[in-house]
Amino acid sequence: MRFFDLLDAVRQNPQQLSIPAEWAQGRASFGGLVVALQYEAMRAKVPADRPVRSLAITFVGPVEPDVPVSFEVDVLREGKAVSQVLGRAMQNGQVVTLVQGSFGASRASEVSVEAQPAPEMKHWDECQELPYIKGVTPEFMRHLAMRWSIGGLPFTGNQSRDMGGWVRLRGDVKEEPLTEAHILALVDAWPPALLPHLRKPAAGSTLTWTIEFVQPLLELSTLDWCKYCVHIEHARDGYGHAAAALWSPEGGLIALSRQTVTIFA
């Protein structure tokens, strides 16, 4: 199933969905997809004029591929402009992912501060792509393409604090407007920024993730390359803390992201 097929499926029935093994990330399903599906279930419970402003995610446990998962939603509060929503992905009677979302309508304000400029990068056609290799790279990478421009590839011993490049959906992609669900997949597609520091393969995963969306979203397509860069702020004792951002090809800010990652090396 392609990305848009899974989004359609959760919109129709958020209580009964199995994520195919082709979207696996080791023994778990790709976290960016899991959160995108939970977001879609949450989006359906909020007025359309309240776009999502931020999501705070905790990956409680792995979401097993090919096993039914349900995406539950509680609206915690609806104020005059902001809705606070809690989403729970449930599998085998256990909570596997928690997502707390803040959705807010726009309001008039005297405060306006432009975003910091995007970093300079080589054109995507000049950048090395991390290929999908069955049995070597995560299965979900057959659906997403990443091309490196900053820092090193995983397990190359590159000690840079920064990593990034270009990202987009791969393969048989349905061209449609880029939404928050797609953005979740594009940002989380990148491996933990600590992995390039290692010289041999080791496991790493996201523990918590916060992402903030710049509204209104820029008018982009699912076929557009987006620019991504992550900066390691601190790492020790098997945990790393990193901040990232996603931009349009022209450098317009799309989303801000922070992750706490675990590393088993």
DSSP code for 151: S
Cα distance between residue 37 and residue 99, in whole Å: 11
- Is 227 within 8 Å of 158 (Cβ atoms)? no
Can you give the pLDDT at residue 40?
98
Once rounded to an integer, what is the mean pLDDT over residues 61-82?
Answer: 97
Q: Which domains does the chain have, with CATH numbers?
A: 1-104 (3.10.129.10), 123-265 (3.10.129.10)
Cα distance between residue 216 and residue 13, in whole Å: 28
Can you give the pLDDT at residue 207?
95
* pLDDT of 44 over the 90 cut: yes
pTM, rounded to two decimals: 0.96
pLDDT band at 244 (very low <50, low <70, confident <90, very high): very high
- Is 68 within 8 Å of 19 (Cβ atoms)? no
Q: What are the tokens at 112?
A: 């306006």
- Is 84 within 8 Å of 102 (Cβ atoms)? yes
Q: What are the tokens at 33?
A: 């997809």
Cα distance between residue 123 and residue 216, in whole Å: 26
Phi-psi region of 165 (alpha: psi -120 to 50; beta: other; left: phi over 0): left
DSSP code for 173: P
Q: Is the peptide bond before 216 cis (omega within 30 degrees of 0)?
A: yes
Once rounded to an integer, what is the mean pLDDT over residues 168-197?
Answer: 93
| DSSP sequence for 194-260 | TGGG-SS---EEEEEEEEEE-SSPP--BTTS-EEEEEEEEEEETTEEEEEEEEE-TT--EEEEEEEE
Helix or strand holding residue 253 (H, E) = strand 253-263
Cα distance between residue 147 and residue 164, in whole Å: 8
Q: Judging by beta carbons within 10 Å of its beta carbon (0-12, 13-18, 19+), is residue 157 exposed, middle or buried? A: exposed
DSSP code for 139: G
Q: What values do phi and psi take at 75, rounded to 5?
A: -85, 110
Give the number of C-alpha atoms closer than 13 A to the C-alpha of residue 179, restricted to the C-beta side.
15
Can you give the pLDDT at residue 209?
98
Once rounded to an integer, what is the mean pLDDT over residues 203-219?
Answer: 96
Q: What values do phi and psi take at 113, rounded to 5?
A: -125, 125
Token pair 């011993």 is found at: 157
